[in-house]
Amino acid sequence: MARVHPSTILAETISWYCSLFLAIMLILSCCESSVTDDERTVVKIRFKDSVYKPCDEIYVVHEGETLHTISEKCGDPYIVEENPHIHDPDDVFPGLVIKITPLRNK
């Protein structure tokens, strides 16, 4: 009977746990997730073309958000131009309603 070296057993065990971890991460990355309806924000993750569109056309500003963070989050670099009621881009407050048009839809 051939004797197996202890480092080989350790390497196989670590390899098995890594494979299990990667399989779980792959399954979780393919899942569709959504945020509460109260926030009116839906997160859509599509595995094929990696599109991340977390915003509806009508967006309500939340605490701590700026136009810059909303622009990055929603993929709309022209928020100020599309919302004439925003006179000062620095004066954004929670509850402000803005129109969002993601760049890829233009």
Confidence band, pLDDT 50/70/90 cuts, at residue 48: very low
Domain at 32-105: CATH code: 3.10.350
User: Six-digit token pair at 47?
Assistant: 């595995």
Q: CA 95, 40, 81, 77 torsion: positive or negative?
A: positive
Amino acid letter, 39: E
In the chain, % of residues over pLDDT 70: 73
**How far apart, in whole angstroms, are the C-alpha atoms of residue 40 and residue 57?**
10
Task: Please say if the pLDDT value at position 34 is more than 80.
Answer: no
Instruction: Supply the pLDDT for residue 97.
Output: 93
Domain boundaries along the sequence of the chain: 32-105
Backbone angles phi, psi at 11, to 5 degrees: -65, -40
69-105 pLDDT, tens digit each: 988 888 888 888 889 998 888 889 999 999 998 765 4
Amino acid letter, 33: S
**How far apart, in whole angstroms, are the C-alpha atoms of residue 72 and residue 96?**
17
